[in-house]
Structure 1
């Protein structure tokens, strides 16, 4: 009876601590530097105005009717087949529209033989007075490709309305290409990722003609060049500071980092300029624009049901940005953003957690728990099974707490259940190792 009572007390304490941790996470201070609403951009998908991967270029005077031009890709609920490069334009950075007579998307995966297009980048060639849209495409297996190779494409336009046929520039072993035309050459940065064997690097290369390219050089961020924690980002040139400004998000997708470089290769130690407070499930690829001593940081913002929007933070000091909020809706559009906060079925939420957070790295704890079990059995003669069960629960629930955005009772329950399932796997694996070790002693 005493043992059972002790187990009950331990589990009760564990549940109380878990709920307390969830509440701490859900009740973080309101971050003023985070955008708490979304910029309204009408995509070519009627009723699904979701988009991602923004980048904005500015003109001193309106170019073909607009001062700001933005490249983006629609991404409704993470549907890669609709991730086709598109254009929006604005005269104030708040109200965005599709330029008259422009038919989005300007590039389509069907014309290239790719199963998806993504990571678009819009630049302006002042020497040719033209816009260029660069973007990635993954060659489809169904259309003769290997389903892995990424190609870098380009289209051009003299008016932002009529676009050329696509041109294949080169194979690209990176994500989120950041591209600048500096007046003489293309300066290109790419973020490495595991699928192309470049994980952990941020590489720079250049070309005068888009055909002949220099060898890639590993950029340094802080003192690191080969184990960088980066996902998507962008590089822009600040004419006032005479430096290159890089904004990116780490693989945790919860912050926007900022750093600068004078030579395109060596970047300073990064610092956080936008931090998610739980308003969004994740943040996505940011970009930066600097004009008249004012910064505009535009970034992807992902909702609970994988809705993809873009938000913005602005300010004169990069260290003190203010995010857009509901009070800015009247400035942004006549129609407020359709932030679909629809209810997600419990089993669907649990299934999504299973796909996203049932990670193999958790299995590294099995040998650690095995060693812990051997030590406890040898020195304390304790009931090791109970200790392993409780330790596994603590590990897995804490892991879920760190990774999941708990914004409702359903998400909390689903997270707790997923933690129990993970703990069952850890416990079973550890006990099996202990059983084998005893059997062959």
Structure 2
């Protein structure tokens, strides 16, 4: 197909600006050195700066997509973006974090359809059922009194308020939950003339103490309370202590979420009835409120915040807030993510989990109070929900971004570390519509060939790695509507050729994939000028001689090649239709820059590379 000439408001200068952003990102990494922690922080800042620069230039995402669509085969942009950013970097560990940041940014813009779980956490309450709600989960890396995970929650079968009483559950793997040995649930039964609600759990590191907060309501006298009970071992709990009393609904603290830091309690809560989220502070002995109703200026639009959870992370204060649209209530809510940055600024609410479109699902009517947990780079969302028949449920979703989660599909198979899910497939075999919703890596063993025709159960941006794990094994990927493969042909893997290939899902329905073919990190030393230089299977080009790069051939879309200098020599990249360089003019690489990366943006007859 003949390619169209690029026209319109997006010009060479816009492309040049895009290149400049990537160059600045590269410089940040050079300055950061090989320290992974520093590099990750700088990469995150650089990605943010690049985004701001793009917005300032009014270069919309759709316009950028249109540019690359004109320069890629078949006119399909999103796959090329995924390929250009995905896979493993080859110029040392300094590039790994930036790949991760770019991939997460792209993924987080896409669908959340896979965020809903398919099974309920089998956590039996003191009533003998599994209808639990209002979770708050804490993680202790080395365990606390025998358990790594502690949860406060309430049973709430079919909305029966007399059973909405505070309880404790523990686990060491997030799968199997139970009451701590020696303890009896609940911590308190319903008060006279009212009910309990809105449990929250926090840890006082200075006292090595857990605290459960909850909200009793006196319906008869229209009073609302916040009370707490504390424990030094998770088994023996103190008598409840009242720490807040509201004489009217206008002063109520709905769904309080608290942390203890800087010698005081910091409390976020929902004011209810479209009043948004409020913030309060309480002294360390919980005897005096420093203030109680400071507005948290989140741009809710026409939504009304109902229940909230907060966590302190390296990003700032991360919030999971269920909110409902006009005409709704707490029983018709979806879940939104809000970040309060260290400088106090707030992001707009972004949907992280919505009510299931399946009318028979346990989360079809409302997403209720949820608990957000972050371990390393991984997020876990314990969310409660309401079904159309008013049953309550508690389940779990997880992922590397709070707005790009995967709901668990089965209790027995889900992993607590999202990046560690794998299966073994024994050859010979043929896989058609193979479910990879809970799989990251496929190891092929045995003798013979495994043919992969199609996969299902994914989301846009999900990556599945195929690994040849035997000397007598071959993997065949069938080119077609499900797989877009190099040179539009069936693709073969073996111990002699490609050992590892990443498949990246490129559609929201999870049916279409593009192969990001990873060769064996082949490194070549070059000493003379490169004209139509064959780069099949090459990841790194080293040079200690001065030379000129005019053109490359036999690349694949998304392929990366790192040029690395090993002396005071220079490499000149000649600007042309085949080689797009910064400022659209010849680009010189010298020892002060150490190295540079080229990415293939077109393959075939009109092959093109870009210098980043």
Structure 1 length-normalised TM? 0.62
Aligned equivalents of 2:132, 2:300: Cα separation in 1: 34
Match of 2:371 in 1: 287
Equivalent residue runs for 1:84-233 within 5 Å: 84-110=165-191, 113=192, 115-141=194-220, 146=221, 148-172=222-246, 173-194=252-273, 199-208=274-283, 209-215=285-291, 216-222=293-299, 229-233=304-308
Q: Distance in 2 between matches of 1:139 and 1:264?
A: 39
* Kept in 1: contact 2:279–2:296 (CA 8 A): yes
Question: Does the C-alpha gap of structure 1 residues 102 and 223 become closer, same or farther in structure 2, counting only changes over 3 Å?
Answer: closer
Does the alignment pair 1:77 with 2:153? no
- Counterpart in the other structure of 1:399: none
State which structure, 1 or 2, has the greater radius of gyration over its C-alpha atoms. 2
Is 1:236 the counterpart of 2:318 in the alignment? Answer: no
Indicate if the aligned counterparts of 1:134 and 1:154 stay in contact, CA closer than 8 A. yes
TM-superposed deviation, 1:223: 8.0
1:13-412 maps to which residues of 2 (within 5 A)?
31-46=113-128, 48-110=129-191, 113=192, 115-141=194-220, 146=221, 148-172=222-246, 173-194=252-273, 199-208=274-283, 209-215=285-291, 216-222=293-299, 229-238=304-313, 240-241=314-315, 243-252=316-325, 253-262=332-341, 266-278=345-357, 279=361, 280-325=364-409, 327-329=410-412
Give, in angstroms, the shift of residue 331 of structure 1.
5.7
Q: CA deviation at 1:68?
A: 0.7
Instruction: Determine if contact 2:278/2:296 at 8 Å carries over to the other structure.
Output: yes
For these two proteins, the number of residue pairs brought into alignment is 287
Q: Is the 8 A contact 1:219 1:266 kept in 2?
A: no
Query: Cα gap change, 1:116/1:263 in structure 2, threshold over 3 Å: closer, same or farther?
Result: farther
Whole-angstrom CA distance in 2 between matches of 1:54 and 1:124: 15
Say if 2:112 and 2:353, in contact at 8 Å, map to a contact too. Answer: no
Cα offset, 1:228, TM superposition = 5.5
CA pair 265-79 structure 1, distance change in 2 beyond 3 A: farther
Distance 1:228 1:254, change over 3 A: closer
Distance 1:223 1:249 in 2: 11
Tell me the CA shift for residue 330 of structure 1: 5.4
Query: How far apart are the structure 1 equivalents of 2:139 and 2:412?
Result: 22
8 Å Cα contact 1:30-1:277 kept in structure 2: no
User: Secondary structure of the residue that 2:404 maps to in structure 1?
Assistant: coil
> Are the equivalent residues in 2 in contact too, given 1:114–1:139 (CA < 8 A)?
yes
Cα 1:265–1:200, aligned 2, differ >3 Å: closer, same or farther?
farther
Give per-residue Cα distances to partners, 1:231-279, cap 9 Å, x unaligned. Answer: 11211111x32x0001111125342110111359642111111222323
Question: 1:276/1:163 Cα in 2 relative to 1: closer, same or farther (>3 Å)?
Answer: same
Q: Is the 8 A contact 2:268 2:308 kept in 1?
A: no
Partner secondary structure for residue 149 of structure 2:
strand
Unaligned runs of 5+ in 2: 1-110, 247-251, 326-331, 416-612
Listed one character per residue, the Cα deviations across residues 323-350 of structure 1 (whole Å, up to 9, x for unaligned) are 111x334569xxxxxxxxxxxxxxxxxx
Helix, strand or coil: the match of 1:44?
A: coil
Q: Give the direction of change, closer, same or farther, for the CA distance of 1:191–1:88 in structure 2 (3 Å limit).
A: same
- Decide which structure has greater strand share: 2
Instruction: Tell me if structure 1 keeps the 8 A contact 2:300–2:349.
Output: no
- Structure 1: unaligned runs, 5 residues or longer: 1-28, 333-441
How big is each residue's C-alpha offset from its partner over 1:166-215, in whole Å with a ceiling of 9 and x where there is no partner? 11111141211111111511001110124xxxx42311010123121122
Poorly superposed stretches of 4+, deviation over 4 Å: 263-266, 329-332
